[in-house]
A and B are shown apart, each in its own frame.
Chain A
Amino acid sequence: MEHDTAGARRYPAKPADVYLFATCLIDQFAPEAGMDTVRLLEREGIRVHFPADQTCCGQPAYTSGYPDEARAVAARQLELFPEPWPVVVPSGSCAAMMRHHYPKLFAADKVHLAKSEELAERIFEFTEFLVHVVHFDRPDHGAASTVALHTSCHARREMGSHASSEALLAGLSRVKLVRQEHAEECCGFGGTFSVRHPAISEAMVTDKVQSLVAAGAECVVSADSGCLFNILGRADHMDRAAGRDSPSLPCEHIANFLWRRTAETLNGESA
C-alpha cells in the first residue's frame, strides 16, 4: 500500500462548500462526532452538504473477500457528489478506501473507474482538510489536559494524516500530547478481523489500552471511530472486570475534542 502521503499532495484553496461523507459508524454510533465536524467547518465559513443517500464506503465487504458487494455499495457513493466540491471524511480509514481503493475496486469498469478517479482527488480526511485547506488556527479555551493520539493505520500509512492530527493537537496551547509506546502499531480492530480472530485482536487491543494508560493519557483522541470503539470497548470491559466505576481511559473523536476546546462559550465549557 504505497501511496502518496498528505505531504506530497496539492491542496486547493479554502472552498465555500464541501460535502461531508460522515461514514456509517458516525451516522449510527457517534453522531456527535459528525455534528462537531460540521460545526468546526461551518465556523470557518464553509457550507457543509450532507448527501442524505450516503451509507457506507464499502470497506467491510472489500476487506472481507466480497468485492461484488463492495462495488454495489461503493457505486452508490460515487453518485453522491455531483458538484466539484471537496469531500471531507472524518475517518482516515474510510477516506483511504474512497481515495485509494475505489479506483482498484473499479479497475475493470471504465465508467466507474473514471468517476472514482475523479472523486479520489477530492477526498480529504478531516484533519488533513483542517490543516492543509482550512489552515485551522483557533485559540484553546480548555483546561490543561494530557492526551494521547491514536492514529488508525490507514490514516497513517495511506493518507499520511497522522501528521495533521498531531499538528492540530500541537496547536492547542493547553494540551499536552503524550506518546504511548508502539504508537504506530495497529489497535487490533481491522473490521471483521476483530470477530474472526478474537484472540489476536484481544491481545492487540489490550496492549494498546495498557500502553495508553501507561503513557498517562487522560483522554485518547483519534480521527477514526472504528479504532475508538475498539479501544474504548476494551478499556470499559477491563474497567468493569476490575470493578472500577469511572472510565480509566476516556476516548473522543478528534472533532469532538477540537470543538470542545475551541468553542467560544462560557468558561471554555463545551458547546
Chain B
Amino acid sequence: MSHPIQLHPSADFIARTRAATADKDLRKGFRGAMDFLQAKRAAQFPDPVELETLRDLGAAIRRHSLACLPDLLEQLEGRLTANGIQVHWAETPDEANAIVLDIVRRRQAKSVIKGKSMVSEEVAMNHVLEAAGLEVLESDMGEYIVQLAGEAPSHIIMPAIHKSKQQIAALFAAKLPGVAYTEDVDELIRIGRDVLRRKFAAADIGLSGVNFAVAETGTLFLVENEGNGRMCTTVPKVHVAITGIEKVVAKLEHVAVLNTLLPRSATGQAVETYQNFISGPRKPDELDGPEEVHLILLDNGRTQAYADREFRATLQCIRCGACMNHCPVYARIGGHAYGTTYPGPIGAIISPHLLGIGATHALATASTLCGACAEVCPVRIPIPQLLIRLRNEAQADSAHASALRGAGESHSVLGSLIFRAWALLYAHPAFYRMATWLMSRLRVLAPARQGAWTQMRTPLIPARRRLRDLLREPRRDAARDSTVA
C-alpha cells in the first residue's frame, strides 16, 4: 500500500489512526523497534549529569545559531562560494525543484543517485525528477526499500522501520529480477548493495542532505552509516546538497558538541560510521571528487517559525528522531498515519509551518502532552508547549487569529461554545456549586453513553456527595477543626 504525503494531513487523520491502531503487526513492529531504540539511547547516556550538560550545550548552540541566523547564512554563503560551492536559495518546494532541474538540464543528466535527505522528501523531489524523465535511485538501504515499495519514509532516521524482515524479503523477490526470497538480513543487505553499487558509477548527479552547515568554514557536515552518503557526494560528477535554512551553525566546534548528541539520541550509537566534511569540489590537483558542488537552502515556511518568539524553538531541531522514538502516540500509529514528511512530535510542530496550521491541526491535538519527547530532545525543544500554542492558533476565532498561515482555520463554533459554557461554570463558583450539586443529585441519570469516552470505557458517574458536602458533615475522625471557607 502506498502512503503518499498529504496536502491536508488533518483531513483523514482520524481514519488513518483507526486503521493503524487496528493493525496488530504494525503496532507490534513499532513497539519492538521503539523499545529497542529507547534502550540503545539510554545505554549511551549512563551519566545523567553528562547528558543534561550536553543538552544544555546543544540547546545553547542551536539557540545561538538561530539568534544570528541571517548573519550566519550570509557568512555561510560567502564561505561556501569562496570554497567553490554554489549556493542557491529556495523559498518554496517548487523553487528548490526548479533549481535541481536546471542543474540537470545544464549537465544533461540522465540519472540521480540519492543519499538520505528528508528535505528532498519535503519537496517531493523524486516525483519531480522522475516526471522529467530521470532515473532516481535512493542509495540509503531504508530509503531504497521504501522507494521500491512506492512508499514514503515512516521515520526520519529509519525510513523503512515499519517493514518486517519478511515484507522486505517479499518486496525484493517481487521487484528485483532474479532475486529469490530470503529472510537472511545480511543477504538482503548484500542484494540491495549490489544493485546500488552498480548505479553509483553511472549516476550523473549525487544528491544528499546536510546535517549541519558550518558558517565560519563553509563546510557541509553529513553523517551516515552505510557509506552511501560518501559515494553520493564524491563519485558522481555533480553533487547537489539540499537542506533547510535552519541547519547552519556558527563554528566547527559546535558540530563537535551536536554530533555527540545526534547519534546517541538517534540510533543509540556512540558515533556514526561515516562523518563527511564537504568543503568544495575537486581541486585541479585532486584525483577524485565532484566537479561541481551545489547547496540549496530551503525556506518553505521556516521563516514563519523563525519570526515568532515561541515557534522559533522549532528550528533548533537536529532531526535526531528521539522524540518519535519515545512518543507513545507514534509508537501506536507509526509514521505514515501522520500523512506528513516529518511524523511524530517533530512532525506535529514543524508541519504547521510547512503546510499551514489548518491543514495540520489534527497532529497538534494528537498528543496527551505527556512530555516524553521534550524529556529526550537533545536540544531541549519545549514540544508540548509548542503543541499547546498550535492548538490556540488553530482554533482562534477571527478576532484573535494571528498572521500565521492557517491560523483560525480550525475554529469550531461548537468547540468554542462548549468552552465558553465551561468557563461560565468554572469561573463562577456559585454556578459551579449549583451545577455540581444538581449532577450529584441526578447521578442516576448520568448517561451510559458518553461519546467517545464510553466506546471503550465504562461511564463516569458523579459521586453521591461531593467533597464539599462530605467536608461539611460531622466527622468522628476530625482531629483538627479544618474548614470549608
Contact = CB atoms under 8 A, between A and B. Distances in A.
Interface of A: 1-2, 22, 24, 26-32, 34-35, 38-39, 42-43, 45-56, 58, 60-70, 72-73, 75-76, 104, 153-154, 157-158, 184-186, 188-206, 229-230, 232-234, 236-237, 240, 271
Nearest to A157: B371
A207 to B, nearest CB: 8
26 contacts: A2-B374, A27-B468, A29-B463, A35-B471, A42-B477, A42-B478, A50-B482, A53-B429, A64-B419, A67-B392, A69-B422, A72-B427, A157-B374, A190-B369, A190-B370, A197-B329, A197-B366, A199-B14, A199-B22, A200-B17, A200-B21, A200-B333, A201-B452, A232-B458, A236-B457, A237-B456
A51 B395 contact: no
A181 to B, nearest CB: 9
Given A76-B426, A189-B368, 18 more contacts: A1-B371, A2-B374, A2-B380, A28-B436, A32-B463, A34-B467, A35-B467, A63-B388, A64-B395, A66-B416, A188-B368, A190-B370, A193-B367, A195-B453, A198-B456, A203-B21, A203-B333, A204-B368
Contacts of B423: 61, 66, 68-70, 72-73
B86 interface: no
Given A35-B471, A193-B365, A230 B371 contact: no
Contacts of A50: 467-468, 471, 482-485
B14 A28 contact: no
A170 B463 CA distance: 31
Contact of B422 (A61, A65, A199, A202): A61
B479 interface: yes
Interface in B384-440: 384-385, 388, 391-396, 400, 415-416, 419-420, 422-423, 425-429, 432-433, 436, 439-440
Contact of A27 (B416, B436, B458): B436
Interface of B: 14, 17-18, 20-22, 27, 328-329, 332-333, 365-372, 374-375, 380, 382, 384-385, 388, 391-396, 400, 415-416, 419-420, 422-423, 425-429, 432-433, 436, 439-440, 451-463, 465-471, 477-485
Nearest to B464: A31
A66 B480 contact: no
Contacts of B395: 64-66
B482 A200 contact: no
Nearest to A35: B470
A204 B332 contact: yes
A107 to B, nearest CB: 10
Nearest to B375: A157
A186 B370 contact: yes
B346 to A, nearest CB: 16
Contacts of B392: 65-67
A26 B423 CA distance: 19
A31 B467 contact: yes
A190 B367 contact: yes
Contacts of A271: 477
A233 B446 CA distance: 15
Contacts of B385: 1, 104
B27 A203 contact: yes
B458 A240 contact: yes
Which of B333, B369, B400, B483 gathers the greatest number of chain A CB atoms within 10 Å? B369
B485 A52 contact: yes
Contacts of A197: 14, 17, 329, 365-366
